A and B are shown apart, each in its own frame.
Chain A
């Protein structure tokens, strides 16, 4: 697995963090306050999770007055969505198996 995928999986492994991200995906831009109201954790905890999501590139923040608005960045999921990179890894390993088999066929 690539490093980019590691970061995404690690970031989304936390259920609270994943729920925040899913909500931003479904409902669009939200303030920290609006997210806290239904997150089941305190506002500092929500802010901390949003910081981790931001570092992974999964959310973007926008300041407006005293409010910070967060939105999901679906482009950050590209390392997981790109089937070509997944299949390239799959075929490289199949080629390895094929070469092993060809060696055995000699015997």
Chain B
């Protein structure tokens, strides 16, 4: 996690994976495979393509993430916007071949417009708390 600019923050997850880049690329870009590890989707590896990621962790809870493809460099880089709730972010996948497979890096950088006010205004902070409580609950699936 690092701050790159005022109000801008990012999450980085990086792993050495014992599989070649082209195979990981398939899992990152083929809708039926994406669904198996991420969410239901209508992804297409075309720059500018808009798609949704969806899941129903509970019967009455429907999560939809709005996305748009930004970068497609087969077996190397995949990037798309990720907008959900009040979080606008960009998710970038980077695949680097290693002697044993691939170093896979995911960086999500984002900016939440009301982030600053969360600590300044009581009502904004409270509203955000509830929105985030909802997000935390959706993770318990």
A binding-site residues for B, Cβ under 8 Å: 1, 5, 22, 25-26, 28, 72, 74-75, 77, 80-81, 83-92, 94-95, 97-102, 105
**Across the interface, which residues of B come within 8 angstroms of A101, CB to CB?**
27, 33, 36-37
Q: B112 and A94: CB pair below 8 A?
A: no
Among B43-51, B69-77, B130-138, the stretch in contact with A:
B130-138
State whether the Cβ of B24 lies closer than 8 Å to any Cβ in chain A. Answer: yes
Q: What's the count of A-B pairs with C-beta under 8 Å?
A: 87
A84 touches B27 (CB 8 A): no
On B, residues with C-beta under 8 Å from A are 1, 9-11, 13, 15, 17, 19, 23-24, 26-27, 33, 36-38, 87, 104, 106, 108, 110, 112, 118-119, 122-123, 125-126, 128-129, 132-133, 135-136, 139-140
Across the interface, do A74 and B133 meet the contact criterion of CB distance under 8 Å?
no
Cβ contact within 8 Å between B136 and A80: yes
Do A90 and B132 form a contact, CB below 8 Å, given A28-B122, A84-B10?
A: no
Taking a contact as CB atoms under 8 Å apart, the answer to whether B126 and A25 are in contact is yes
Q: How far is the CB of B6 from chain A (nearest CB, A)?
A: 15
Q: In the complex, what residues of A have CB within 8 A of residue B13's CB?
A: 88, 91-92, 95
Q: Chain A residues near B128: list those with CB within 8 A.
A: 81
3 A-B pairs with least C-beta separation: A97-B37, A74-B125, A25-B122
Q: Is the CB of B129 within 8 A of A94?
A: no
Q: How far is the CA of A86 from the CA of B110 in the complex (A)?
A: 13
